[in-house]
Amino acid sequence: MTIQSTFQKGSDRMMIRVIGDTVLFIDPQTNTVSPIEGLNLNKQGVIKEHPDLKDDEEWKQKAIKRFVNKIKSFKTETEKTNWLIEEMKQMGYNPLFKQRNGFRAEKII
How far is it, in rounded angstroms, from Cα 68 to Cα 62? 10
Q: How many CA atoms lie within 13 A of 53 on its CB side?
A: 18
How far is it, in rounded angstroms, from Cα 31 to Cα 13? 11
Structural domain contains residue 101: no
Per-residue pLDDT reduced to its tens digit, 23-35:
999 999 999 999 9
Give me the residues paired with residue 8 across strands. Answer: 13, 94
Structural domain contains residue 71: yes
Structural domain contains residue 104: no
What is the domain count for the chain?
1
How far is it, in rounded angstroms, from Cα 101 to Cα 78? 12
Structural domain contains residue 42: yes
Residue 90's SS3 state is helix
Structural domain contains residue 11: yes
Structural domain contains residue 107: no
Structural domain contains residue 103: no
**What range defines the domain where residue 75 resides?**
2-95
Per-residue pLDDT reduced to its tens digit, 55-89:
888 999 999 999 999 999 999 999 999 999 999 99
